[in-house]
Chains A and B, each alone.
Chain A
Amino acid sequence: AQKITQTQPGMFVQEKEAVTLDCTYDTSDPSYGLFWYKQPSSGEMIFLIYQGSYDQQNATEGRYSLNFQKARKSANLVISASQLGDSAMYFCAMSAPTDSWGKLQFGAGTQVVVTP
Chain B
Amino acid sequence: NAGVTQTPKFQVLKTGQSMTLQCAQDMNHEYMSWYRQDPGMGLRLIHYSVGAGITDQGEVPNGYNVSRSTTEDFPLRLLSAAPSQTSVYFCAALKGANYGYTFGSGTRLTVV
**Interface residues of B, CB < 8 Å — how many?**
28
Interface-located stretch among A11-19, A72-80, A102-110:
A102-110
> Which residue of B45, B99, B102 is within 8 Å of A103 (Cβ)?
B45
Asked whether, in the complex, the Cβ of A102 is within 8 Å of the Cβ of B50, the reply is yes
Cβ–Cβ < 8 Å partners of B48 in chain A: 100, 102-103
Interface set, chain B 8-67, CB cutoff 8 A to A? 31-33, 35, 40-45, 48-50, 56, 58
A43-B88, A91-B42, A107-B42 known; A102 vs B102 contact (CB < 8 Å): no
Asked whether, in the complex, the Cβ of B105 is within 8 Å of the Cβ of A102, the reply is no
Asked whether, in the complex, the Cβ of A101 is within 8 Å of the Cβ of B42, the reply is no
Tell me the bound Cα distance from A101 to B102 in angstroms.
13
Cβ–Cβ < 8 Å partners of A100 in chain B: 31, 48, 50, 56
> Which residue of A4, A45, A47, A109 is within 8 Å of B99 (Cβ)?
A47
Asked whether, in the complex, the Cβ of A106 is within 8 Å of the Cβ of B44, the reply is yes
Asked whether, in the complex, the Cβ of A102 is within 8 Å of the Cβ of B88, the reply is no
Asked whether, in the complex, the Cβ of B42 is within 8 Å of the Cβ of A109, the reply is yes
Asked whether, in the complex, the Cβ of A101 is within 8 Å of the Cβ of B31, the reply is yes
* CB-based nearest B residue for A36: B100
Quote the shortest CB–CB distance from A25 to chain B (angstroms). Answer: 13
Task: Pick 29 A–B contacts, CB within 8 A, sort by A.
Answer: A6-B42, A35-B100, A35-B101, A37-B100, A43-B88, A43-B106, A44-B106, A45-B43, A47-B100, A47-B101, A47-B102, A48-B100, A50-B97, A50-B99, A52-B97, A91-B42, A100-B31, A100-B56, A101-B50, A102-B32, A102-B48, A102-B49, A103-B58, A104-B35, A104-B43, A104-B101, A106-B43, A106-B44, A108-B41
A binding-site residues for B, Cβ under 8 Å: 4, 6, 33, 35, 37, 43-45, 47-48, 50, 52, 91, 93, 95, 100-109
Ranked 9 nearest A-B pairs via Cβ: A47-B100, A106-B42, A102-B48, A45-B103, A102-B31, A33-B97, A106-B43, A108-B42, A102-B50
